[in-house]
């Protein structure tokens, strides 16, 4: 059902134009369509209205709409409506087993690389941590699992 919230969030005048409106192409991916029946992202969302219970990342002041925890699970950033967790878990299925496993693998690879740098330099100074975090943020601009790189960068800054 097309609502005023959908029009506002998607930037489209009606439901027919929403799928091709630039601001509504934010949750699009193949949704695991090629690999099987456990769909994610826009493929599992289909025509479900999430406008009223989620934020359009283009209109969100925070850096991220979603965060990744150390276990590889996607979680809504603080400040999102309470039903954002339902959107992430059920409608978008962003914590499907294969996605969590892939995120965990990226986290493990990044932690191995950080451990290698730490061993090479006999520890990690604040400036080296900041440098690694900055590199991860740049890589996140084009990486497939950008949210994981941003999470690792945030942990380095703590």
Question: Six-digit token pair at 154?
Answer: 């945030």
Distance CA 152, CA 114 (A): 10
Does one domain contain both 81 and 26? yes
Evaluate whether 55 touches 61 at the Cβ level (below 8 Å): no
pLDDT at 28 over 60: no
Evaluate whether 15 touches 2 at the Cβ level (below 8 Å): yes
Count of beta carbons in the 10 Å neighbourhood of residue 26: 13
* Domain termination site, one of 42, 67, 94: 94
* Domain termination site, one of 62, 94, 126: 94
pLDDT at 117 over 90: yes
In this predicted model, which residue has the larger pLDDT, 137 or 34?
137
Give CB contacts under 8 A, 24+ apart, made by 61-68.
63/150, 64/147, 64/150, 66/94, 66/147, 67/147, 67/150, 67/151, 68/103, 68/107, 68/147, 68/148, 68/150, 68/151
In this predicted model, which residue has the larger pLDDT, 37 or 113?
113
For the segment 14-33, the average pLDDT, to the nearest whole number, is 54
pLDDT at 22 over 80: no
Residue 63 is predicted with a pLDDT of 67
Distance CA 95, CA 108 (A): 17
pLDDT at 87 over 60: yes
19 band by pLDDT with thresholds 50, 70 and 90: low
For the segment 51-79, the average pLDDT, to the nearest whole number, is 77
pLDDT, tens digit, 9 for 90 and up, residues 36-50: 667 666 666 666 667
Distance CA 158, CA 155 (A): 5
Domain count, the chain: 2
Does one domain contain both 11 and 46? yes
pLDDT at 26 over 60: no
Evaluate whether 96 touches 43 at the Cβ level (below 8 Å): no
Evaluate whether 104 touches 152 at the Cβ level (below 8 Å): no
152 band by pLDDT with thresholds 50, 70 and 90: very high
Does one domain contain both 65 and 137? no
For the segment 103-120, the average pLDDT, to the nearest whole number, is 95
57-61, 137-141, 153-157: least confident range: 57-61
Identify the sign of the CA torsion 134, 140, 141, 142.
positive
Question: Six-digit token pair at 55?
Answer: 């934020």
Does one domain contain both 65 and 110? no
CA-based angle 128:130:132, to the nearest 5?
70
Question: Mean pLDDT in the chain?
Answer: 78
Which residues form the domain of 71? 4-94
Paired with 68 in beta bridges are: 74
């Amino acid at each position: 059902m097309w609502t005023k919230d959908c029009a506002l969030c998607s930037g489209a005048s009606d439901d027919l134009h929403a799928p091709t409106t630039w601001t509504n192409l934010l949750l699009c991916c193949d949704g695991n369509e090629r690999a099987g029946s456990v769909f994610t992202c826009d493929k599992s969302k289909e025509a479900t209205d999430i406008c009223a219970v989620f934020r359009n990342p283009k209109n969100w002041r925070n850096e991220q709409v979603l965060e990744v925890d150390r276990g590889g699970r996607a979680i809504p950033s603080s400040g999102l409506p309470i039903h954002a967790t339902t959107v992430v878990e059920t409608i978008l299925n962003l914590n499907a087993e294969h996605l969590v496993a892939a995120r965990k693998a990226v986290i493990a690879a990044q932690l191995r690389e950080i451990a290698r740098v730490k061993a090479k330099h006999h520890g990690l100074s604040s400036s080296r941590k900041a440098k690694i975090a900055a590199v991860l943020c740049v890589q996140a601009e084009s990486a497939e699992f950008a949210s994981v790189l941003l999470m690792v960068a945030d942990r380095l800054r703590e």
